[in-house]
Structure 1
C-alpha cells in the first residue's frame, strides 16, 4: 500500500495535560539544534528518550539510524502525559524529543533521509503547544496540526516551518520503527478516511 506524505493518526492526547508536562520542565535547559544552517532563530530540543549510554547533550538529541538500544532520560520521569503518548504506540520507540521553534523563528526547507514509513522509520509529531501562525509546509503545502493530535509526516520529502506567532511552538517528536502494528494503524486510517 502506498502511504501519503502526511496522515493524522487516530490518536489524540489531552492538550492541557501535555502543556502541564511542558510547564513542569520550565527549569530544564534546551539544547540548540545542531544543524544550524537549517534554521534562523530558536530551534531547540530536550531529549526524553535517547541512545543508551549517551550523556552529551548533542548526541542525546541526535537521531542516529544505526543505534538499536534506547533508554528514557531522567527528564521523562516527571512527565506522565508524555509517557502516556509514548505508551500509546505498540511498536518500537526509538528517540523521543521535545522540539521548540521559538516565536519568529524559521526552519528552512530541507529533507531528512530515510524518515519515511517505506524505509522502515516513521517520525510522529504531537503538538504540545502551538499557535495559528505556525506554518508547517510539506511538499509545498501546509499541514495544520492542533495540540494533542498525532501526525505522521514523510520528512524525507522537502519540508519547512515558520513560526510567525508570538508564542513558542513545541512538538513531542517520536521516532518509531515501522513494524506491522504501525503499518496496520496507517492502513486502517487510510481505509476509514
Structure 2
C-alpha cells in the first residue's frame, strides 16, 4: 500500500470552516510532545477515550484504548458530525490540530499508524496555505482544503507552516475495515 493516498471523498470547505469558527474560542491544548515541534501546535478533542476528563487525556491518541466516545465539543459542530458519519469504519480519537503560522513539526514517526497494521490516520484539511510544506518520506504532499488523505505516519514526516495563516486539519484515527480498505484501493 502506498504511503500517501487521496481518498475518493470530498467535503464542503465553507461548512468545515463554519464549524471551525464555532470552536475558535474553545480551549485548545498545546500538543503534548513539545520536543516534536517549534512554535504553536495545538489540539481540540472531538472524539476521546471513553471516560477521559483530564485535558491531556482528552487529546491523547492512546493506542491501547479500546472504547471511545464523542466529546462535548462535537455536539456543537453539525457538519463535522456529518463528515465523521461518512467514515463507515470504527472511529477512535478525532481531533482538530492547528499548526500556527510560522510553526513547524519536526520530523518524527508515529509507529502505530500504518493501515497494513490495522490503524489509519486520515487528514481532512480545513484551512491551509501555499506555504505549508508537509513531507512524508522526504516527499512533499499538498493537501487541498476539503480533501481526505490517508498518510502512513509510521514513516518519517514533518510539516513547516511558513505562511501567514494557521493550518487546521480534522485528524481522524480509525480502525481499518473492509470499507476503509475499499476507500484506500479506490484512492489516488
TM-score (norm 1): 0.96
Deviations 1:110-135 (A, max 9, x none): 00012010110000000011111100
Q: Counterpart of 1:68 in 2: which secondary structure?
A: coil
- Counterpart for residue 86 of structure 2: 88
1:163 maps onto 2:155 in alignment: no
How far off is 1:188 after superposition? 2.7
Give the superposed CA RMSD.
0.7
Alignment-derived partner of residue 7 in structure 1 = 5
Say which SS state the counterpart of residue 100 (structure 1) adopts: strand
1:186 maps to which residue? 184
* 3-state SS in 2 of match to 1:17: helix
| Residue in structure 2 matched with residue 64 of structure 1 by the alignment | 62
Matches within 5 A, 1:38-117: 38-117=36-115
For 2:88 and 2:113, locate their aligned partners in 1 and report how far apart those are by CA, in whole Å.
19
List alignment gaps of at least 5 residues for structure 2. none
CA shift digits 1:53-78 (9 cap, x unpaired): 00111111111111111000110011
Whole-angstrom distance in 1 between the partners of 2:185 and 2:13: 26
In 2, Cα distance between equivalents of 1:169 and 1:26: 13
Which residue of 143, 147, 150 corresponds with 2:148?
Answer: 150
**Counterpart residue number, 1:23:** 21
Task: For 2:168 and 2:66, locate their aligned partners in 1 and report how far apart those are by CA, in whole Å.
Answer: 26
TM-score, normalised relative to structure 2: 0.98
What is the deviation of 1:27?
1.6
Query: Is the contact between residue 8 and residue 186 of structure 2 (CA under 8 Å) also seen in structure 1?
Result: no
How many angstroms apart in 1 are the aligned matches of 2:109 and 2:16? Answer: 28
- Stretches of structure 1 that go unaligned for 5 or more consecutive residues are none
Q: Is the 8 A contact 2:133 2:160 kept in 1?
A: yes
- Cα distance in 2, alignment partners of residues 170 and 120 from structure 1: 26
